[in-house]
Amino acid sequence: MSDKEKKEGGRERDERIRKLEELRRLGVNPYPYRFERTHSLIETMENEGSLSTDGASVSVAGRIMAIRGHGHTSFGNLKDGTGSLQFYIKDAGVDEKTWKTFRLLDVGDVVGLSGSLFRTKTGELTIKVKGLELLSKSLLPLPEKYHGLQDKELRYRQRYVDLIVNDEVMEVFRTRARIIDTIRSFLNERDFLEVETPVLQPIYGGAMARPFVTHHNALDMKLYLRIADELYLKRLIVGGMERVYEFCKDFRNEGMDRSHNPEFTMLECYAAYWDYNDMMEFVETLYQKLADEVLGTTKIKYGEQEIDLATPWRRLPFFESIKEKTGKDLREASEEELRKTAERCGINLEGVSGWVGLIDEIFSELVEPHLIQPVFITDYPVELSPLAKMHRSEKGLVERFEPYIAGFEMGNAFSELNDPLDQRERFEQQTRMRQEGADETHPVDENYLRALEHGMPPTGGLGIGIDRLVMLLTDSHSIRDVILFPAMRPETGRDG
RNA sequence: GCGCCGCUAGCUCAAUUGGCAGAGCAACUGACUCUUAAUCAGUAGGUUCGGGGUUCGAUUCCCCGGCGGUGUACCA
């Protein structure tokens, strides 16, 4: 036994192992193979009428969350994936072995109980235990019953304990599943085809971010974990899959904070013959439906903010949004003018360079934080968007939008650039920007260019950050609260 | 990366102007046949995150490190 194992749980663990051995001596297998349930706990409660009138027996299973002993009797609480039910056991009501077994149980043990339902004098539905089967002996104690598990580090590292004792955590992840399910139905109903594309990519692309790098031994080559699946999905559009989507785990080798985890979930979808206006309608309709189905209302609360997701959402061109804050149309402004405007607005420009960098900084500082109600920011400068199609009427802009809610960028969408020669030119511009010192630029992807040269129909494309969407709809304020196992540094030994 | 805050019993938290480290829950022993944060009596449980320094004495003060939280930066 390692030192670590000895320490973890300490004396209480030793005590439980002692009970385990005693149970075995009684002829009880503490880890049997299966148990036949007749009802989940929620079904038990819902069918109380029929179950208790004819004195029928029910069999339920779950984890013991509390034991309140009274000498010859005991009350306790059993919890399963659907709910919680009180149980009552009396030594005279069960055989001797069962009673002895019960006396060796602890809070945290998984058991199967059979018996009949009744109401206590305080009116609580309770199962009167006749049969009891230990299904799994727990060796480590659960956290304190009243305060639960508070320590954020432990909650993230031992999410299973968090889920056992903090019901609201379970609820967040049920909601997450409902959200994804609703999106999938929404897409399937509209004839989108769910596909899978490579996680390991020889050239990363579709976004601007630092990738994780890995190595393929058999091929002796460098591979990147995807930062996006965009370029693969658009190859499928070329191939004639007219509507495709993928729930895509993406990986970005960058900082972690309240809204960034190194691996996160993105939905990307593409529809041939759509443009970004179709995509805007699609997004607002989807969000309205999600709010309705998941929360039952489009009026949601996020922290102190009241947000209404009902359609239609405001459309606000990028430069228009900046004009609202600065009073100036900066589309034609020189770099010098941008710098002056930014400084006048009190923006710290340390480390910011170039026209694009400045305009982006001004937008981030002055506009973004105020985008609380749903809004589509549209028509971005071409330099910011190497994969988006030139605007049909506005020079220097592309047909791109980002939905913003509660100050969060919730996604990104374009009329996809399908002109292969223009796309090549954009990639080359990225390369020039890189040579001029830009940190992160989009690499040239010849393979993708060849696909475009075969002809991609006009296409609307969309990416939605699923984690942020779940945050919004569950009123969660850290991405770690909507990811079951968020990235953490490994636990170190006691010697640090 | 940087700033600030935190780390004390299995869990939730106290305490120390630097002087024997505490409570509640959980555990253990006992009492108790409708309790539900059960109750009552008792017992046990600590490398105060790790290392170093100052000191007669450090859990407390100082330095280095670890992990976490939070803000900020990066994320064209």
Q: What is the complex's ipTM, to 2 decimals?
A: 0.92
Q: Which residues, other chains included, contact A365 with Cβ-Cβ below 8 Å and sequence gap of 6+? A: A342, A345, A347
Phi, psi (5° rounding) for residue A245? -150, 160
Pairing of strands A84-90, A125-136: parallel
What are the structure tokens assigned to A190, written together? 């509209």
Q: Which residues, other chains included, contact A324 with Cβ-Cβ below 8 Å and sequence gap of 6+? A: A316, A367
Q: What is the pLDDT along chain A (496 residues), one digit of tens a residue?
A: 334 344 556 789 999 999 999 999 999 999 999 999 999 999 999 998 888 766 679 999 999 999 999 999 999 999 999 999 999 999 999 999 999 999 999 999 999 999 999 999 999 999 999 999 999 999 999 999 999 999 999 999 999 999 999 999 999 999 999 999 999 999 999 999 999 999 999 999 998 888 999 999 999 999 999 999 999 999 999 999 999 999 999 999 988 888 999 999 999 999 999 999 999 999 999 999 999 999 999 999 998 889 999 999 999 999 999 999 888 899 988 888 888 888 888 887 777 777 888 888 889 888 998 999 999 999 999 988 999 999 999 999 999 999 999 989 999 999 999 999 999 999 998 888 888 777 778 889 999 999 999 999 999 999 999 999 999 999 999 999 999 999 998 876 433 3
**Closest nucleotide to A107's CA, by C1' atom?**
B26
Measure A212 CA to B59 C1' (Å): 42
**What does the alpha-carbon distance between residue A146 and residue A423 come to, in Å, rounded to a whole number?**
60
Q: Which residue has tokens 């785990």? A: A249
Measure A147 CA to B46 C1' (Å): 22
**What does the alpha-carbon distance between residue A18 and residue A190 come to, in Å, rounded to a whole number?**
59
Q: Which residue has tokens 């540094």? A: A489
**Closest nucleotide to A153's CA, by C1' atom?**
B68
What's the DSSP call for residue A94? S
Angle, to 10 degrees, between the axis of helix A354-362 and the axis of helix A318-326?
Answer: 70
Per-residue CB contacts under 7 A with strand B, chain A residues 289-348: 348
Total residues belonging to chain A: 496
Q: Which of A173, A98, A35 is nearest to A470 (CA)?
A: A173
User: What nucleotides of chain B have any atom within 7 angstroms of a protein Cβ?
Assistant: 1, 6, 9-13, 24-28, 31-39, 44-45, 47, 49-50, 65-76
Measure A496 CA to B50 C1' (Å): 6
Measure A68 CA to B25 C1' (Å): 13
What are the structure tokens assigned to A231, written together? 């370029």
* Cβ neighbour number for residue A143 with a 10 Å cutoff: 18
What's the DSSP call for residue A398? B
Measure A144 CA to B22 C1' (Å): 18
- CA dihedral A301→A306→A312→A318, nearest 10 degrees, is -110
Per-residue CB contacts under 7 A with strand B, chain A residues 7-66: 9-12, 15, 19, 66
Per-residue CB contacts under 7 A with strand B, chain A residues 436-495: 438-442, 478, 480, 486, 488-489, 491-492, 494-495
- CB under 8 Å, gap of 24 or more: what pairs does A119-125 form? A119/A52, A120/A86, A120/A88, A124/A86, A125/A44, A125/A45, A125/A48, A125/A85, A125/A86
What's the DSSP call for residue A67? E
pTM over the 0.90 mark: yes
Count Cα atoms within 13 angstroms, Cβ side, for A206: 32
Judge whether A419 and A388 are in contact, CB under 8 Å.
no
In chain A, DSSP finds a helix count (H) and a strand count (E) of 16, 19
- The β-bridge partners of A460 are A271, A415
What are the structure tokens assigned to A354, written together? 């170039």
